[in-house]
Each structure stands twice: as C-alpha cells, then as structure tokens.
A and B are shown apart, each in its own frame.
Chain A
Amino acid sequence: MLERLGQKLILKVGQLGPVPVAFDLVTVIMCLIVSAILVLLALWFRRAIPADPEAPLNRRAAFLVGALDFFREQLLGGFPRELAQRLFPLITTLFLYVLLSNWISVIPGAQSPTQNEQVTLGFAFMVYFLSHYYAIRTKGARSHFRGYLEPYPFLLPMNVIGDFGRTLSHGFRLFGNIFGGAILTAIFLNLVARIITAVPVAIPFGLVFGVGLGTFLNAWFGVFIGAVQALVFALLASVYIRLTTA
C-alpha cells in the first residue's frame, strides 16, 4: 500500500568520489512543471500591467497589486524597510513555489515536489546560506561571526549546532507535513478499499464514499495544509534571515 509513495524513478549519473550522483526523475519533472506554471502565470500577469502608470487598473493588475500588498504585509510585516525591500522577491518566490508545489498534488497522479526531502532540505539550506550572506552584507563578516561567540566563547559549538538544527527542522517540517498527508490519504483510501472488497453488498455505497473521502482528504491535505505550510515555510525563512541579520 505504501510502496507507491516511496516509488522513485532514479537516473544514475555517475560517481563523485564515494558519493553516487543520481537524479529522482519524477521530482525533477514535477519541479520543472511547477516552475513552468509559475513563469507562465508571471508572464500572463505582466501583460496586464498598463504601460501608462496613470491608466485605471484592470482586473488582473488590481489583483496583482492586492496580492503583493498582502505578501508584503503578511510575510515581511514589521521588518526594517530596507531589509524588507531586499527580501521581498526572494520570500515571495519561495512562498509561491512551495504553495504551488503543495497544491499540485491535488491533480490525481501528480506528486508534490515537496514530498521529497531533498527538495525541502535544499530550500532550507538555501535560506541558511542566504541568511549568512545577508548578515555579512549588513553587519560585516567580523561582527557576524563574533555573534557565534555570544554570550560565552565556549558556547560556540552549541550556537553552530543550534543554527544547523534549525535549518534541518525547517526543511523536515515541510517534508513531514506533506509526506505525512500523502501517507494518511493512502492509508484511508486503502482502508475503504479493503472494507469494500470484504463486504460485496457495500460496493456502490463504498465507491461513492471512497471518492468523497478522497476528494475531502485531497482538499484538506493538499489545499489547506499545503497553504498553511507554504506560509509557515516562507515566514520562518524571513524570520531566520531577520534573526541572523539583526
């Protein structure tokens, strides 16, 4: 029942020293599909921006303005102005990408890229390195790395490990939520299928029930939990970057 979840189409490329290099083709293709959808949406919305700034907004442009204001308010509210300006494209892109990655599993047969721990950990480590980059840009390398010796120099390992653990849990949180939802959906639908096959009289009733349950679980885990987790992922990314730059 759960074998299908772990199913991967692995493309082995070669060996990099002791580490085998391989691509999970399903995840790569789903990532590319999500990226393509986002790029197409961006181009479609861009065409709606009127060339004349004084012109009245049409529907799409008004939606765009509203959505960007919402993101700025929700994801970067209370940030220093300059930092918010610099982080806005990154955090919004992260949010939209994760959101669409989570939502795409609603399509039957499609697999969320965020169901793969390597994708989410990749995002988390991107945020980790970017937070160091922004911290060095704003504070200077000396004062940034001296922050690791606070409050006492012998706490240096604790600070480094804490930073690292934060990043790991950032990545695993998204993966665990999405993958856990996929497992629960599979288990519930399998349960319904077993009950149906055990009681032949219940087949028509069970089919309706199964389809309804499948739709509900997809809506709950895909749409609702997916949106909440995308918001949490982007929020935590912005908070982590802000904490390191502060």
Chain B
Amino acid sequence: MNISGEHLVDAVKYLAAGIAMGLGAIGPAIGEGIAAAHALDGMARQPEMEPALLRTMIIGQAITESTGIYSLIVAIILLFVV
C-alpha cells in the first residue's frame, strides 16, 4: 500500500474536522449549562417570572452557541470545500 500526498491531505482533513468540532463543542455546552442552571435558580425563586426568564435564557443560549456554530462551519468547510 503506497500512500500519496492526496491521501495524507484527506486523512488530515477528516482528523482536523473532528478535532475542530469536538473541541468547539466543549465551550458552548458548558456555557449553556451554566445559563440553564441560573435560569432554573431564578425560576425556582420567582416562578411568576418564568416566561421572561425562559425567553432571555433562550436568547442568551443562542448567542452562546455562536462559537460552537463557528467550529461547525470550520468543520463543514474542511469536509466539503477544502
């Protein structure tokens, strides 16, 4: 079995996409968990605030998710474009 440069590029491409997605998923996961935990704290303390808290939590989580989405974009570009 002889390995040419193209095979090497393919292998590194898939490896890089996996690493980018895996590492990039850590941050948003922790961040969204913290946001949900604090929103739950607030809801338990003041149940009448639940709709407002839920909406703000979802917006905050969506913005937190951005970094994860960026790494997904990088992984997609590595897989399909490079």
Real binding pair? yes
Residues of A within 8 A of B (CB): 2, 6, 73-74, 77-78, 169, 172-173, 176-177, 179-180, 228, 231-232, 235-236, 239
A77 to B68, CA, bound (A): 28
- Interface residue tally for chain B (C-beta within 8 Å): 17
Most A C-beta atoms less than 10 A away, residue of B52, B59, B72: B72
Chain B residue at minimum C-beta to C-beta distance from A179: B76
Chain B residues whose C-beta falls within 8 Å of the C-beta of A173 in the assembled complex: 62, 65-66, 69
Which residues of A are found within 8 Å of B73, using beta-carbon distances? Answer: 172, 176
Q: How far is the CA of A231 from the CA of B59 in the complex (A)?
A: 9
Interchain CB contact under 8 A, A77 and B55 = yes
Nearest-CB residue, chain A, relative to B61: A232
CB distance from A133 to the nearest CB of B (A): 23
A3 to chain B, nearest CB (A): 9
Decide: B66 and A169 in contact? CB cutoff 8 A.
yes
The reply to whether A236 and B62 form a contact with Cβ atoms under 8 Å apart is: yes
Q: Which residues of B contact A232 (CB under 8 A)?
A: 58-59, 62
Contacts of B69 in A (CB 8 A): 169, 172-173, 176-177
Task: Out of A2, A176, A239, name the residue touching B59 (CB < 8 Å).
Answer: A239
A2: B residues at CB distance < 8 A: 79-80
